Amino acid sequence: MRIGPVPAVSVALLGAVPALAADAPCSKFSWPVDRELALLQASRVDTATGSVLTANAPLALTLVLAKGAALPTPSQKAADPALFAGFATLTVPKQGDYLISLSANSWIDAAQNGHRVDSNAHSGDPNCQGLRKSVRFTLEQGPLTIEISNNPAGRIDVAVTPWYWGAPAPQ
């Protein structure tokens, strides 16, 4: 059986499939974020800046203008005084690697024992509705202060999740 030439439209559509998949929302992260996205889309605890939390549920952090925010630890990036900033403290249950995921474009710092913790990796997707960035930190057991700055909206959803087995190591 002889098959004739494939119409040009079919070839063009087949060639476009990988490009469409690569541009799908939430596809640009360097690691799987399904769990974090689900947490940020679920109900969150309304949290005022400066709060100390007893539970590590996803939170909706209310921020203040950066010029009035007194972040406990100096940030790695200068805050724009016209944008919003804030912080909350929660407890890391055990030492290990964690993802801190944010719903919107903002700068994030993590601090423990009065010192900023450097991130190991970060990933983001500006087209992902509800999850803008995810940053990996190696944290000690105990109090963790999450500091947000340069946020344009005055509110941000935050989820802290353990780095999980099976996820590819960030580059």
3-state helix, strand, coil in the chain (%, to 5): 15, 40, 45
Could you tell me if residue 56 is inside a domain?
yes
Per-residue pLDDT tens digits for 127-165: 999 999 999 999 999 999 999 999 999 999 999 999 875
The identity of residue 50, as a single letter, is G
The identity of residue 153, as a single letter, is A
Could you tell me if residue 11 is inside a domain?
no
Could you tell me if residue 17 is inside a domain?
no
Could you tell me if residue 69 is inside a domain?
yes
Per-residue pLDDT tens digits for 61-84: 999 999 988 999 988 899 999 999
CATH code of the domain covering residue 102: 2.60.120
Domain that includes residue 136, residue range: 28-162
Indicate the average pLDDT of the chain: 84
Q: How far apart are the first and last CA of the chain?
A: 49
Could you tell me if residue 153 is inside a domain?
yes
Question: Does pLDDT of 8 surpass 60?
Answer: no
Could you tell me if residue 14 is inside a domain?
no
Domain count, the chain: 1
- Percent of the chain at pLDDT > 90 equals 67
**What's the pTM value of the predicted model, to 2 decimals?**
0.81
